[in-house]
Chain A
Amino acid sequence: MKRLCLIAVTALLLPGLASAEELTGTLKKIKESGTISIGNRESSVPFSYLDDAGKPIGFAMDICAAVADAVKAKLGLEKLDVKYTAVTSSTRIPLIANGTIDLECGSTTNNAERQKQVSFTNTHYLTASAFVSKKANNLTKIDDLKGKTVVSTAGTTNMKQLVEANAARNLGINVLSAKDHAAAFLMVETDRADAFVMDDVLLASLAASSKDPAAYQLSTEAFSKPEPYGIMIPKDDPAFKAVVDQATADLYKSPKMTDLYNKWFLSPIPPKNLNLNVPMSAALKKAFANPTDSPDPAAY
């Protein structure tokens, strides 16, 4: 009986061992579990957010769906379950590090500092630091902020750029921190702050979804060169990165990418059917034609 069991177990294990031989890390885990775990954000409009039904949708989610299809084809799986895990800016790194999620699809800035901890696939968006303010205050240039109260979200590169510009240009700005983008925007809405410094695309979506979108305007001057957003993947997993890089590069270079961009940035999107109306920049067009995962803003 014992021997029979042993033979049965060996027979079951052998084919598995043979085909999983070359696979390591994330790909192996996906193949064995038949599941790919995608980390989504809850309010990163239009990249990754929840619709009325609580289902994660967005520009980055569509890209990740294409990645999941590519992984499925690569592994020759008949069926691949996609599991969604909501992440926040605090939980995304530990969840990538401990393997709870395989991809983080949202609006995470790709920079050299962060690449020591995680990897990024090809850039899917480029955004510069700008500020939003009430039209009535007539603030359009960085120098207009002289002596004003300006808020940014704690722990963002935008905060760093605001502090630097304040010191370099001797503006005497009263800098406030906010816990998250929503709280920072609320400070502008309630006149606690005159302006909010953030990635321009996020400001556009915050203003568009506010009570009175016409009351706000974006600055014409930016604090920085556009910085890349990337889909975050585990570090030191070259096999998985190669598959994801190939999948995103194929998608970005195809005409489907223009449709995808238009769907999220130039058409009404759920849940309020608002149109962000942000045309594709020349730099982003270039980044889609020649996909790259470079963290350096100068490379775009």
Chain B
Amino acid sequence: MNYHWNWGIFWEMSPEGTGTYFDMLLAGLWWTLATSALAWIIAFSVGSVVGVLRTLRSGWVVMACNAYVELFRNIPILVQLFLWYFVLPEVLPAEMGRWLKTMPNAAFWTGSIGIGLFMSARVAEQVKAGLQALPRGQWMAGTALGLTTAQTYRYILLPTAFRIILPPLTSEMLNTVKNSSVALTIGLMELTAQTRAMQEFSFQVFEAFTAATILYLIVNAVVTLAMRWVEKMAAVPGYTTGH
């Protein structure tokens, strides 16, 4: 292959004049982390609520929540971000649309919320599956003890359900980090966007994408290790799940 390798490129000044190419990638990494963190907070909280509601014995609540999940998980994330960013401000009343468009860091907020809602549908599926995996006797025991529905979920069902679904939740967290790269389509200069910018400026494609690969691997390895630790801390002695 006729390619001119230059691994020293990272320490050269980027043409944007704000630092080296490595600084450019770090700035991107920061946005990736911020977007993933906010998106995950949204995904976990909204997803948990929707997931729980889907196991209630109320027909219309279950139906509404099923509709929510199907809507958010069946439309590609790329399309969803485009709709949030370009279409939503146009269909809102003019005043609100203008406010959305002139909001500082609009790409970050739109991206985080969009990815968060997309991922929340997947979290809701996991939470529902976790709750359904519990023996029905647990629910009955709670009722027999005179606990309200909320108390049954809070003290009996959710503590075990969340322990069961910790491994798939880790996967969803990793997916959130990876999906944050889609926000580049609405102009968020996160890690992948900065990598592409570096490639355009320097023409050192392989070096740029190697660095991005390594940075993503490190971030996700840290997430995986942290979640393993959480799993260990949360384990109840003598109670094994999922075996």
Contacts and interface: CB of A to CB of B under 8 A. Distances in A.
Given A117-B204, A190-B89, A178 B198 contact: no
A140 interface: no
Given A94-B206, A186-B86, A191 B16 contact: no
Interface stretch (B121-129, B138-146, B189-197, B214-222): B189-197
Interface stretch (B2-10, B62-70, B171-179): B2-10
B162 to A, nearest CB: 37
A273 interface: no
Contacts, number: 93
Contact of B2 (A177, A186, A235): A235
A151 B106 CA distance: 13
A115 B151 CA distance: 69
Interface string A152-192: 00111101100110010000001011110001001100111
Contacts of A234: 2
Contacts of B198: 155
Nearest to B100: A192
Of A164, A167, A186, A192, chain B has the most CB atoms within 10 Å of the CB of A192
A90 interface: yes
Nearest to A117: B203
| Majority secondary structure, B binding face | helix
Interface string B198-242: 111111111000000000000000000000000000000000000
Interface in B1-47: 1-4, 6, 15-18
Interface string A223-259: 0000000000011110000000000000000000000
A236 B2 contact: yes
A89 to B, nearest CB: 6
A280 interface: no
B55 interface: no
A98 interface: yes
A291 B234 CA distance: 72
B193 A177 contact: yes
A163 B193 CA distance: 17
A177 B187 CA distance: 5
Nearest to A177: B187
A116 B2 contact: no
9 contacts: A94-B206, A97-B1, A98-B2, A99-B1, A154-B196, A157-B15, A163-B16, A164-B17, A236-B2
Interface of A: 89-90, 93-94, 96-99, 113-114, 116-118, 149, 151, 154-157, 159-160, 163-164, 167, 174, 176-179, 183, 186-187, 190-192, 234-237
**9 A-B pairs closest in CB distance:** A155-B200, A155-B197, A117-B203, A97-B3, A160-B15, A177-B187, A192-B101, A114-B203, A98-B1
Given A155-B198, A237-B2, 16 more contacts: A89-B200, A97-B1, A99-B1, A113-B203, A116-B203, A154-B184, A154-B187, A154-B189, A155-B196, A159-B16, A179-B185, A179-B193, A183-B187, A190-B101, A192-B106, A235-B4
